Amino acid sequence: MTLPQENPDRAAGDAFQRLVDIMARLRGPGGCPWDHEQTLESLRQFVLEETYEVLDAIDRGDLQALRGEIGDFLFEGVFLARIAEDAGHFTVADSLRAVCEKLIRRHPHVFGTTAGVDTPQRVIEQWETIKAREQAAAGESRSLLRGLPKALPALLHSYEIGTRVAAVGFDWARTDSVLDKIEEEVAELRQAVQHESQSRAAEEMGDLLFTMANLSRKLGIDPEVALRQANAKFTARFDAMERHLAERGRSLQDASLDEMEGGWQHVKSHE
Protein backbone atom coordinates (compact mmCIF):
# COMPACT_ATOMS: atom_id res chain seq x y z
CA MET A 1 0.00 0.00 0.00
CA THR A 2 1.32 3.45 -0.92
CA LEU A 3 0.98 6.04 1.82
CA PRO A 4 -0.33 9.46 0.76
CA GLN A 5 2.43 12.03 0.33
CA GLU A 6 2.58 14.88 2.82
CA ASN A 7 1.60 18.27 1.45
CA PRO A 8 4.76 20.34 2.11
CA ASP A 9 2.81 23.62 2.27
CA ARG A 10 0.39 22.22 4.84
CA ALA A 11 3.25 20.64 6.78
CA ALA A 12 5.04 24.00 6.98
CA GLY A 13 1.89 25.65 8.35
CA ASP A 14 1.37 22.91 10.93
CA ALA A 15 5.02 23.03 12.02
CA PHE A 16 4.95 26.82 12.32
CA GLN A 17 1.77 26.68 14.42
CA ARG A 18 3.42 24.12 16.68
CA LEU A 19 6.36 26.50 17.18
CA VAL A 20 3.94 29.33 18.04
CA ASP A 21 2.15 27.04 20.53
CA ILE A 22 5.43 26.00 22.16
CA MET A 23 6.43 29.64 22.53
CA ALA A 24 3.07 30.45 24.10
CA ARG A 25 3.59 27.63 26.60
CA LEU A 26 7.11 28.81 27.46
CA ARG A 27 5.87 32.36 28.10
CA GLY A 28 2.58 31.30 29.69
CA PRO A 29 1.62 30.37 33.27
CA GLY A 30 3.86 27.60 34.56
CA GLY A 31 6.28 28.18 31.70
CA CYS A 32 10.00 28.88 31.70
CA PRO A 33 11.32 31.56 34.11
CA TRP A 34 14.11 32.54 31.71
CA ASP A 35 11.68 33.03 28.82
CA HIS A 36 9.36 35.04 31.09
CA GLU A 37 12.03 37.63 31.88
CA GLN A 38 13.16 38.25 28.30
CA THR A 39 12.43 41.57 26.59
CA LEU A 40 12.73 42.85 23.04
CA GLU A 41 16.02 44.45 24.03
CA SER A 42 17.47 41.35 25.70
CA LEU A 43 16.80 39.23 22.60
CA ARG A 44 18.84 41.48 20.30
CA GLN A 45 22.06 39.58 20.94
CA PHE A 46 20.39 36.23 20.25
CA VAL A 47 18.80 37.46 17.01
CA LEU A 48 22.22 38.64 15.84
CA GLU A 49 23.90 35.41 16.94
CA GLU A 50 21.38 33.23 15.11
CA THR A 51 21.73 35.39 11.99
CA TYR A 52 25.46 34.81 11.89
CA GLU A 53 25.06 31.09 12.55
CA VAL A 54 22.77 30.88 9.49
CA LEU A 55 25.37 32.74 7.44
CA ASP A 56 28.14 30.46 8.72
CA ALA A 57 26.21 27.33 7.68
CA ILE A 58 25.65 28.84 4.22
CA ASP A 59 29.33 29.74 3.87
CA ARG A 60 30.37 26.21 4.85
CA GLY A 61 27.83 24.66 2.49
CA ASP A 62 26.53 22.61 5.42
CA LEU A 63 22.88 22.06 4.54
CA GLN A 64 22.30 19.77 7.52
CA ALA A 65 23.42 22.53 9.87
CA LEU A 66 21.48 25.12 7.86
CA ARG A 67 18.25 23.21 8.41
CA GLY A 68 18.61 23.56 12.17
CA GLU A 69 19.91 27.14 12.06
CA ILE A 70 16.92 28.30 10.02
CA GLY A 71 14.69 26.81 12.70
CA ASP A 72 16.57 28.71 15.41
CA PHE A 73 16.34 31.90 13.34
CA LEU A 74 12.57 31.54 12.91
CA PHE A 75 12.21 30.85 16.63
CA GLU A 76 13.75 34.23 17.46
CA GLY A 77 11.13 35.93 15.28
CA VAL A 78 8.32 34.04 17.00
CA PHE A 79 9.83 34.91 20.39
CA LEU A 80 9.92 38.64 19.57
CA ALA A 81 6.33 38.57 18.32
CA ARG A 82 5.18 36.74 21.47
CA ILE A 83 6.71 39.40 23.70
CA ALA A 84 4.93 42.07 21.64
CA GLU A 85 1.65 40.12 21.91
CA ASP A 86 1.98 39.79 25.68
CA ALA A 87 2.34 43.58 25.84
CA GLY A 88 -0.79 44.03 23.69
CA HIS A 89 0.95 45.38 20.58
CA PHE A 90 0.63 42.77 17.81
CA THR A 91 0.72 39.02 17.19
CA VAL A 92 2.94 36.84 15.04
CA ALA A 93 -0.05 36.47 12.69
CA ASP A 94 -0.08 40.25 12.28
CA SER A 95 3.60 40.14 11.28
CA LEU A 96 2.98 37.34 8.79
CA ARG A 97 0.01 39.12 7.25
CA ALA A 98 2.05 42.32 6.94
CA VAL A 99 4.91 40.66 5.07
CA CYS A 100 2.55 38.70 2.82
CA GLU A 101 0.64 41.83 1.86
CA LYS A 102 3.86 43.74 1.23
CA LEU A 103 5.30 41.02 -0.99
CA ILE A 104 2.14 40.89 -3.09
CA ARG A 105 1.90 44.68 -3.27
CA ARG A 106 5.54 45.12 -4.33
CA HIS A 107 5.52 42.33 -6.93
CA PRO A 108 2.76 43.48 -9.32
CA HIS A 109 4.69 41.81 -12.17
CA VAL A 110 3.96 38.47 -10.48
CA PHE A 111 0.64 38.98 -8.70
CA GLY A 112 -0.81 41.72 -10.91
CA THR A 113 -0.76 42.82 -14.54
CA THR A 114 2.44 44.90 -14.69
CA ALA A 115 4.58 43.98 -17.69
CA GLY A 116 8.17 44.64 -18.66
CA VAL A 117 9.74 43.93 -15.27
CA ASP A 118 11.95 41.13 -16.51
CA THR A 119 15.37 41.74 -14.97
CA PRO A 120 16.59 41.89 -11.34
CA GLN A 121 17.55 45.55 -11.78
CA ARG A 122 14.05 46.48 -12.97
CA VAL A 123 12.59 44.62 -10.00
CA ILE A 124 14.71 46.72 -7.62
CA GLU A 125 13.72 49.95 -9.38
CA GLN A 126 10.04 49.00 -9.22
CA TRP A 127 10.36 48.07 -5.54
CA GLU A 128 11.81 51.50 -4.68
CA THR A 129 9.14 53.28 -6.74
CA ILE A 130 6.31 51.43 -5.00
CA LYS A 131 7.93 51.97 -1.61
CA ALA A 132 8.16 55.72 -2.27
CA ARG A 133 4.50 55.79 -3.29
CA GLU A 134 3.50 53.96 -0.10
CA GLN A 135 5.48 56.38 2.06
CA ALA A 136 3.88 59.38 0.35
CA ALA A 137 0.39 57.91 0.85
CA ALA A 138 1.17 57.40 4.54
CA GLY A 139 2.31 61.00 4.86
CA GLU A 140 5.90 59.99 5.52
CA SER A 141 8.75 62.13 4.25
CA ARG A 142 10.64 60.29 1.54
CA SER A 143 14.24 59.40 2.26
CA LEU A 144 15.93 56.74 0.20
CA LEU A 145 18.59 55.90 2.77
CA ARG A 146 16.93 56.73 6.10
CA GLY A 147 15.31 53.31 6.41
CA LEU A 148 18.54 51.33 6.35
CA PRO A 149 19.07 49.61 9.73
CA LYS A 150 21.83 51.32 11.69
CA ALA A 151 22.86 48.00 13.22
CA LEU A 152 23.98 46.59 9.85
CA PRO A 153 27.68 45.68 9.71
CA ALA A 154 29.47 48.69 8.22
CA LEU A 155 30.65 46.88 5.08
CA LEU A 156 27.15 45.57 4.34
CA HIS A 157 25.73 49.02 5.12
CA SER A 158 27.98 50.53 2.43
CA TYR A 159 26.88 47.85 -0.03
CA GLU A 160 23.18 48.52 0.67
CA ILE A 161 23.66 52.28 0.34
CA GLY A 162 25.20 51.73 -3.09
CA THR A 163 22.39 49.38 -4.10
CA ARG A 164 19.68 51.85 -3.15
CA VAL A 165 21.17 54.90 -4.82
CA ALA A 166 22.03 52.86 -7.93
CA ALA A 167 18.35 51.93 -8.21
CA VAL A 168 17.57 55.60 -8.92
CA GLY A 169 20.47 55.99 -11.34
CA PHE A 170 23.12 57.47 -9.01
CA ASP A 171 25.99 55.13 -9.87
CA TRP A 172 29.22 54.77 -11.78
CA ALA A 173 28.53 53.98 -15.43
CA ARG A 174 31.34 51.45 -15.69
CA THR A 175 33.16 49.12 -13.31
CA ASP A 176 36.47 50.55 -14.53
CA SER A 177 35.39 53.92 -13.13
CA VAL A 178 35.11 52.39 -9.65
CA LEU A 179 38.60 50.92 -10.00
CA ASP A 180 39.87 54.38 -10.94
CA LYS A 181 38.14 55.79 -7.85
CA ILE A 182 39.81 53.16 -5.66
CA GLU A 183 43.23 54.17 -7.01
CA GLU A 184 42.36 57.79 -6.25
CA GLU A 185 41.32 56.91 -2.70
CA VAL A 186 44.52 54.89 -2.14
CA ALA A 187 46.58 57.92 -3.20
CA GLU A 188 44.63 60.17 -0.84
CA LEU A 189 45.07 57.67 2.01
CA ARG A 190 48.81 57.52 1.34
CA GLN A 191 48.96 61.33 1.45
CA ALA A 192 47.02 61.42 4.74
CA VAL A 193 49.21 58.73 6.35
CA GLN A 194 52.46 60.39 5.34
CA HIS A 195 51.65 64.07 5.76
CA GLU A 196 48.37 64.58 7.62
CA SER A 197 46.63 63.69 10.90
CA GLN A 198 45.32 60.39 12.21
CA SER A 199 41.75 61.63 11.83
CA ARG A 200 42.36 62.45 8.15
CA ALA A 201 43.84 58.99 7.61
CA ALA A 202 40.77 57.45 9.25
CA GLU A 203 38.50 59.49 6.99
CA GLU A 204 40.37 58.42 3.86
CA MET A 205 40.37 54.79 5.01
CA GLY A 206 36.58 54.99 5.32
CA ASP A 207 36.30 56.43 1.81
CA LEU A 208 38.46 53.61 0.44
CA LEU A 209 36.42 50.89 2.16
CA PHE A 210 33.15 52.49 1.00
CA THR A 211 34.37 52.54 -2.60
CA MET A 212 35.55 48.92 -2.39
CA ALA A 213 32.12 47.87 -1.13
CA ASN A 214 30.63 49.52 -4.20
CA LEU A 215 33.11 47.73 -6.46
CA SER A 216 31.84 44.47 -4.96
CA ARG A 217 28.30 45.52 -5.81
CA LYS A 218 29.25 46.37 -9.40
CA LEU A 219 30.91 42.94 -9.74
CA GLY A 220 27.92 41.13 -8.24
CA ILE A 221 29.97 40.02 -5.22
CA ASP A 222 28.63 40.17 -1.66
CA PRO A 223 31.46 41.93 0.23
CA GLU A 224 30.53 40.35 3.57
CA VAL A 225 30.75 36.87 2.05
CA ALA A 226 34.00 37.69 0.26
CA LEU A 227 35.58 39.06 3.43
CA ARG A 228 34.41 36.12 5.55
CA GLN A 229 35.94 33.76 2.99
CA ALA A 230 39.19 35.73 3.06
CA ASN A 231 39.21 35.60 6.87
CA ALA A 232 38.63 31.84 6.82
CA LYS A 233 41.40 31.33 4.24
CA PHE A 234 43.89 33.38 6.24
CA THR A 235 42.96 31.58 9.48
CA ALA A 236 43.39 28.15 7.88
CA ARG A 237 46.77 29.12 6.39
CA PHE A 238 48.00 30.63 9.65
CA ASP A 239 46.97 27.54 11.63
CA ALA A 240 48.78 25.35 9.09
CA MET A 241 51.87 27.57 9.28
CA GLU A 242 51.82 27.30 13.07
CA ARG A 243 51.68 23.49 12.83
CA HIS A 244 54.48 23.55 10.25
CA LEU A 245 56.71 25.46 12.67
CA ALA A 246 55.75 23.21 15.59
CA GLU A 247 56.82 20.13 13.60
CA ARG A 248 60.26 21.74 13.40
CA GLY A 249 60.39 22.52 17.10
CA ARG A 250 59.61 26.21 16.71
CA SER A 251 56.80 28.23 18.28
CA LEU A 252 55.33 31.49 17.02
CA GLN A 253 56.92 33.29 19.93
CA ASP A 254 60.41 31.95 19.10
CA ALA A 255 60.28 32.01 15.30
CA SER A 256 61.70 34.90 13.33
CA LEU A 257 59.70 36.77 10.72
CA ASP A 258 61.73 35.02 8.00
CA GLU A 259 60.86 31.61 9.49
CA MET A 260 57.17 32.49 9.65
CA GLU A 261 57.23 33.78 6.08
CA GLY A 262 58.97 30.58 4.97
CA GLY A 263 56.31 28.49 6.71
CA TRP A 264 53.56 30.62 5.15
CA GLN A 265 54.95 30.10 1.64
CA HIS A 266 55.31 26.36 2.33
CA VAL A 267 51.62 26.15 3.27
CA LYS A 268 50.54 28.12 0.19
CA SER A 269 52.58 25.91 -2.12
CA HIS A 270 51.00 22.73 -0.69
CA GLU A 271 47.35 23.85 -0.80
Buried b (16+ CB within 10 A) or exposed e, 126-163: bebebbeeeeeeeeeeeeeeeeeeeeeeebbbbbbbbe
The pLDDT of residue 145? 83
Please count the structural domains in the chain.
3
Q: Spell out, as residue ranges, where the chain has pLDDT lower than 50.
A: 1, 3
Is residue 265 domain-shared with residue 201, that is, in the same domain?
Answer: no
Q: What is the pTM of this model?
A: 0.64
Last residue of one domain, picked from the residues 75, 105, 135: 105
- For 41-94, write each residue's pLDDT tens digit: 999 989 989 998 998 899 889 999 999 999 999 999 999 999 999 999 999 999
- For 226-240, write each residue's pLDDT tens digit: 998 899 899 999 999
Is residue 244 domain-shared with residue 173, that is, in the same domain?
Answer: no
Within a domain: 140: no
Alpha helices by DSSP H, 87-222: 92-105, 108-111, 120-137, 154-167, 175-195, 198-219
The pLDDT of residue 5? 58
* DSSP three-state, residue 185: helix
Within a domain: 126: no
Residue 184 maps to which CATH number?
Answer: 1.10.287.1080
